[in-house]
Structure 1
Amino acid sequence: MRVFINGFGRIGRSVLRAWALGRQAGARGGTAGWPQIKIAGINDIATPDMCAYLFEYDSVFGVWPGSVALEGGALLVDGRAIPLHRTADIATLDLAGVDVVLECTGRADTADVAGRGLLAGAGRVLISGPSAAAEFTVVLGANDAGLAGQRIVSNASCTTNALAPLVRLLDGAYGVVTGSMTTIHCYTGSQPTVDAPAADFARSRGAALSMVPTTTSAQRLLDLVLPDLAGRIEGSAVRVPVASVSAVDLAVMVARVPDRAAVNALFRAAGGVTGGVIGATDRALVSSDLRARGESIVMACPETRVTRGGMLRVFGWYDNEWGFSNRMLDVAARMGA
């Protein structure tokens, strides 16, 4: 199947890195990631040399462990040529034969923008974030059974991809009555590097200098993805001065109170049940240890707590760029199939 990346920012580049690393693994005799996917092209308004440079040298994930070059209007990654386009309107391209456009510009919140890839001739569009234009918002491990032929799909948010499978797992095992979630989230490009005016006063402050309390779209999206649990989980966020890897701190009241060992056993077994969406660790890890982990969330078993009153507190790490980009490829493969 042919996949086209529109927008070569943090997620677009991470998607290409994850896909190309899968190709490297296959060439070494290991398990190739997403062998059915061919990256048919990339579009971004940045110059080709800038696209190549930012792909090769990444401040979070390091230098690309292979070759990167430009040749004849294409980006060559490990010798594979991927055509580069530079247009502000993807609808002006000829995308006939493209199965799925990965819409990674961060601007596809209206039907007009989200549907530009369809106008160019592509079969379907997967948006790398929340979008009111989506016909369906999918989170693998939570509601992916509802993915069935929709032409414009949203992959929700990184935090929703971490939270929704976890809530679904806990509700199935113990019955979630109510709860509160805080995402401890690394800073992103939506925050200023130095103090600058913003609609949210706290979000106007320098991202790398303070912990910043703010809101998260994950609460609203959780209600959309798991409507049977709508209104039961409140959510908030604290942006913290680290460049990558975030965390979910979730406290829920449950109908069937488990013991700590049973909860951790559930987490350790979850990878096989969810297809690797949920991982688990028994080690005393810190956020940088989880960089480039492909799961949507990795539960920190030493952090699990259960109170006598029936409250369960769990804690999980997620690489908000890498895990989400892996899910983009997973969902694209499902849509193409």
Structure 2
Amino acid sequence: MRIAINGFGRIGRTVLRQVLTGADRDIDVVRINDIAPLDMCAYLFAWDSTFGPFPSPVTTTEGRIDVAGRSIPVSHSADLSEVDLTGVDVLLDCTGIARTSDVARRGIAAGARKVLISGPSPAAELTVVLGANDHALGDAKVVSNASCTTNALAPLAKLLHGLGGIERAHMTTIHCYTNSQPMVDAPRGDFARSRGGAQSMVPTTTSAAHLVDEVLPELAGRITGAAVRVPVASVSAVDLVAQLARPVSPEALRAAVAASEVLGWTDLPLVSSDLRARPESLVIAGPETRAVGPQVRVFGWYDNEWGFSARMLDVAALMARA
């Protein structure tokens, strides 16, 4: 599979780390595009505050990042349609700005066959979550990979609905801070989100409940959601309380999770930092899972950068084959 990465931020760089360190991935990264200077792109890839230094040297030559035996061209165009992407199977748009059709389709105008957007986007033809609705992918040209929290929640919701039938549920994501928050108090559109992300727990909203309605229409209107941003740099959690039509034991849930391609399970008393760089969409914490009759509480961890980037590559592979 031949891919290009547009936007070399948290997700773009994490995607490249997984390509270069994953022995089972046959992926050729033919181009990176980012408006930051080449030396800054290389520096931030080599020295990562969350995942640590890259395990092999990262250098630059004229217009290229050289790493792990590869030499990857880097361009710096604010308009991707000006970049030659001929021969690219899937462009991974990790800019966070592909919100309109003209921006989202710039990769196709540049020569890529398909575009996968690293977040919710109204410009996408389809929103896909692996383990939830990837069967509906078809030959869509512009696809959204939803959000990290949706990737954690939707496969769990589908699994629970199949086991016991979800009548209603509420999900709280306990989410690490992101670039959408200031590190110290500074004006933002939302008052609470204007407070320093590294100093307080901040109640806020999440798009995951709305996106689950889109990804799993059979559950539309049954799941509500909220978020609390917390002062950690990586790894978030889903806390889901669901009222089911039929009781489901933790043992039955565990057996179903074992058959999932994107969900994991742990019986260890882990904390968030233990889950860093885990590739699953969600790792359910067995000791925190409870069932009282038809009501269940499921708690799970997800690395909102590493796991989400793994799903980007998985969905891109499905798109490339279609």
TM range (shorter): over 0.9
Q: Give the structure 2 partner of residue 274 of structure 1.
A: 260
Q: Within 5 Å, which residues of 2 pair with 1:156-171? A: 156-171=146-161
Deviations 1:184-232 (A, max 9, x none): 0000000001101111110000000000000001011000000010000
Q: Distance in 2 between matches of 1:146 and 1:259?
A: 30
Q: Give the structure 1 partner of residue 17 of structure 2.
A: 17
The answer to whether 1:33 aligns with 2:24 is yes
Give the Å deviation of 1:262: 2.6
The one of 206, 209, 223 equivalent to 2:213 is 223
Q: How many residues align?
A: 321
The answer to whether 1:191 aligns with 2:181 is yes
Deviations 1:111-150 (A, max 9, x none): 0110111111111000000000000100000000001110
Q: Distance in 1 between matches of 2:142 and 2:251?
A: 42
Aligned residue identity for 2:276: R
Normalising by structure 1, report the TM-score: 0.94
Give the Å deviation of 1:258: 2.1
Check conservation: 1:67, 1:79, Cα contact below 8 A.
Answer: no
Check conservation: 1:127, 1:155, Cα contact below 8 A.
Answer: yes
Q: Distance in 1 between matches of 2:183 and 2:236?
A: 19
Check conservation: 2:64, 2:71, Cα contact below 8 A.
Answer: yes
Q: Distance in 1 between matches of 2:238 and 2:24?
A: 27
Moved over 4 A (4+): none
Q: Give the structure 1 partner of residue 191 of structure 2.
A: 201
Q: Give the structure 2 partner of residue 61 of structure 1.
A: 51
Check conservation: 1:19, 1:33, Cα contact below 8 A.
Answer: no
Secondary structure at the counterpart of residue 18 of structure 1: helix
Q: Give the structure 2 partner of residue 28 of structure 1.
A: none
The answer to whether 1:290 aligns with 2:275 is yes
Give the Å deviation of 1:72: 2.6
RMSD of aligned Cα (Å):
0.9
Indicate the larger mover: 194-203 or 126-135: 194-203
Normalising by structure 2, report the TM-score: 0.98
- Which runs of 5 or more residues in structure 2 are unaligned? none
Q: Distance in 2 between matches of 1:328 and 1:4?
A: 12
Q: Give the structure 1 partner of residue 248 of structure 2.
A: 258
Check conservation: 1:251, 1:313, Cα contact below 8 A.
Answer: yes
Q: Distance in 2 between matches of 1:326 and 1:253?
A: 31
Q: Distance in 2 between matches of 1:274 and 1:208?
A: 35
The one of 99, 102, 106 equivalent to 1:109 is 99
The answer to whether 1:324 aligns with 2:305 is no
Deviations 1:252-310 (A, max 9, x none): 0011112333333333x2xxx332x10110000000000000000000011111114x2
Q: Give the structure 1 partner of residue 87 of structure 2.
A: 97
Secondary structure at the counterpart of residue 92 of structure 2: strand
- Which runs of 5 or more residues in structure 1 are unaligned? 23-31
Check conservation: 1:34, 1:333, Cα contact below 8 A.
Answer: no
Q: Give the structure 1 partner of residue 164 of structure 2.
A: 174
Deviations 1:53-109 (A, max 9, x none): 000000000000112110131111112101010110110011111111000000001
Q: Give the structure 1 partner of residue 114 of structure 2.
A: 124
Secondary structure at the counterpart of residue 153 of structure 2: helix
Q: Distance in 2 between matches of 1:326 and 1:285?
A: 22
